[in-house]
């Protein structure tokens, strides 16, 4: 398997580098500014996985762009699987409201999603197979499984 990992946090990259050295894992790791185009060619990947990445304080336009980029780098029928904080999360609607569904909580800006928002972001590029609810104490998530159209 050819695995690539990207993160916008230099600290996270350093932590991952240490882990892969300890575990002797083969992994291509790259620092990436999240508000830029993905640094991969068209139809590069069979699958993309992301855990809570889209919960950063992206505007709607930035999120649309990220999903367009995900579609661009996926092969036809490629899999996009991701998790996001849900509107059922205990922290939803708490803290200082920054923007639509973005709240500042304990110094972090967190975006929460409704199922209908997820569907609207993906509908032009992906066929949604399943949106499931999951609980990772203390966080409520939507797990989204879809294919590139």
- In tens, the pLDDT along 56-69 reads 989 999 999 999 99
Q: 3-state DSSP call for residue 79?
A: strand
* CA atoms of 11 and 51, how far apart (whole Å): 17
Q: How many CA atoms lie within 13 A of 52 on its CB side?
A: 10
Residue 35 has pLDDT above 80, yes or no: no
Question: Please, which residues have CB within 8 angstroms of residue 99's CB and are 6 or more apart in sequence?
Answer: 57, 59
Residue 100 neighbours by CB distance under 10 Å: 10
Q: 3-state DSSP call for residue 25?
A: coil
Domain ranges of the chain: 1-33, 42-148
Band (pLDDT 50/70/90 cuts) for residue 89 is very high
CATH superfamily of 42-148: Vaccinia Virus protein VP39 (3.40.50.150)
């Amino acid at each position: 398997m050819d695995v690539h990992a990207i993160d916008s946090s230099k600290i996270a990259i350093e932590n991952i580098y240490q882990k892969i050295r300890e575990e002797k894992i083969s992994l291509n790791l790259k620092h990436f500014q999240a508000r830029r185009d993905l640094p991969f060619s068209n139809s590069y990947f069979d699958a993309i996985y992301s855990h809570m990445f889209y919960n950063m304080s992206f505007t709607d336009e930035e999120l649309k762009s990220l999903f367009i980029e995900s579609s661009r780098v996926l092969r036809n029928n490629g899999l996009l699987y991701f998790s996001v904080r849900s509107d059922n999360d205990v922290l939803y609607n708490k803290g200082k409201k920054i923007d639509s569904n973005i709240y500042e909580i304990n110094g972090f800006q967190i975006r929460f999603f409704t199922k209908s928002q997820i569907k609207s972001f993906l509908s032009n590029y992906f066929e949604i197979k399943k949106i499931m609810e999951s609980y990772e104490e203390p966080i409520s998530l939507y797990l989204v499984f879809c294919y590139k159209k």
